[in-house]
Amino acid sequence: MRLILLLTALLGLLDAHANEIDQQAALTALQRDDSLLIDVRSAEEFAEGALPGAMRIGHEDIAAQIHTISPDKNRPLVLYCRSGRRSALAQQSLENLGYRHVINAGAYDDLLPLLENKE
């Protein structure tokens, strides 16, 4: 029983690490011409404001729709939402599909000033 609990805890740590917000990696990836910026928030949130160049795919739809937008599983995909939670869920879905360069960039409000400073 202890072994099962230990393994569950370790898998949880690995999962948490995989879904960590990494804004620096996101900014670096966005400098590449082949990167794709994806807003995984709701249509209403997207309509209120989105990052320049972002396309919207809801976190709940991303696994079903990503292959039409990016069949290349090596393409850098940068995800963001309101807080980083939905982008973490979307990141996990994409990684489960075999996408190799998926970055959780975190929150829209945190990223907007960083991208404005880069311009």
Q: Which residue has the tokens 């829209």?
A: 108
C-alpha to C-alpha distance for 45 and 107, rounded to whole angstroms: 12
- CB count, 10 Å around CB of 105? 29
Residue 54 and residue 38 in contact, taking contact as beta carbons nearer than 8 Å: yes
Question: What is the pLDDT tens value at each position of the chain, 119 positions in all?
Answer: 565 544 444 445 444 445 699 999 999 999 999 999 999 999 999 999 999 999 999 999 999 999 999 999 999 999 999 999 999 999 999 999 999 999 999 999 999 998 887 65
Known catalytic residue at 81:
yes
Q: Which of 81, 90, 94, 105 is catalytic?
A: 81
Three state DSSP letters for 23-76: HHHHHHHHCCCCCEEEECCCHHHHHHCCCCCCEECCCCCHHHHHHHHCCCCCCC
Would you kindly state where each structural domain of the chain is located, as residue ranges?
A: 21-118
Options 3.20.20.140, 3.40.640.10, 3.40.250.10, 3.40.50.2300; CATH of 21-118: 3.40.250.10
